[in-house]
Chains A and B, each alone.
Chain A
Amino acid sequence: DSGVTQTPKHLITATGQRVTLRCSPRSGDLSVYWYQQSLDQGLQFLIQYYNGEERAKGNILERFSAQQFPDLHSELNLSSLELGDSALYFCASSVSNRGGRETQYFGPGTRLLVL
């Protein structure tokens, strides 16, 4: 158990819909990262927040947005969903914002299926 929790575990929805994925980082961790894992693209970084502020952005679609709240939990919002958005979404957390020196701890993921 990494200490990172994600809800829900599974999500089935239809094209065009909007969903929210939630992540609670390990106690004391200030950074939250979101990754997407699909069969064709592998594991890809989406976005990072540090203490409530966006710090790094990857190949995140404009239909996707995220935020980190004062209690440090984070939400990833996916809108106008397409079939290709079906994937595993992982949240990770780390103590601070020190990049290469730090370990990221991953949650169990949310499996999204868009029908």
Chain B
Amino acid sequence: DAKTTQPNSMESNEEEPVHLPCNHSTISGTDYIHWYRQLPSQGPEYVIHGLTSNVNNRMASLAIAEDRKSSTLILHRATLRDAAVYYCIQLSQGAQKLVFGQGTRLTINP
């Protein structure tokens, strides 16, 4: 299973941007990068995914390095509700299962 590397925890302040890094050095040309998050006492929630170019949606932005060996999830203006465990997942085109690592536990200070 493809393995990604993320910091165990990060902390930020409310209304400030947050940059969550992820390393995926074994990524192949057709592997997607997915981000999910899990809020306390809830199921995982899709955040964003991308292949090569940067992606934006209403929740976040995903910046993918040119060599694709790393990416950064950007929350533009964190709220208390963004406190969660964020998982970066490398997923090949044909793969069906999401392989969750330990993720990054994000704490947002008021």
Residue positions of A touching B, CB distance < 8 A: 2, 4, 31, 33, 35, 42-45, 48, 55-56, 58, 90, 92, 97-101, 103-109
Contacts of B87 in A (CB 8 A): 43
- Other A-B contacts than A43-B44, A43-B98, A45-B98, 20 sampled, CB-CB below 8 A, are A2-B45, A4-B43, A33-B97, A33-B98, A43-B38, A43-B100, A44-B100, A48-B96, A55-B96, A56-B97, A99-B93, A100-B30, A100-B32, A100-B93, A100-B94, A101-B32, A104-B46, A104-B98, A107-B43, A109-B43
Q: Which residue of B lies closest to A98 (CB)?
A: B93
- Contact status of A56 and B44, CB under 8 A, knowing A100-B30, A100-B31, A100-B32: no
Chain B residues within 8 Å of chain A by Cβ, number: 24
> Which A residues are CB-close (under 8 A) to B100?
42-44
Does B42 reach chain A (CB closer than 8 Å)? yes
Q: When chains A and B are docked, how far (Å) is the Cα of A92 from the Cα of B49? A: 17
Interface, chain B (partner A; CB < 8 A) = 30-32, 34, 38, 42-46, 49, 87, 91-102
Q: List 8 A-B contacts (CB under 8 A).
A: A4-B43, A43-B44, A44-B100, A90-B44, A92-B98, A100-B31, A100-B91, A106-B45
Main secondary structure of the interface of B (DSSP, over half): loop
Q: What B residues does A103 contact at CB under 8 A?
A: 34, 46, 49
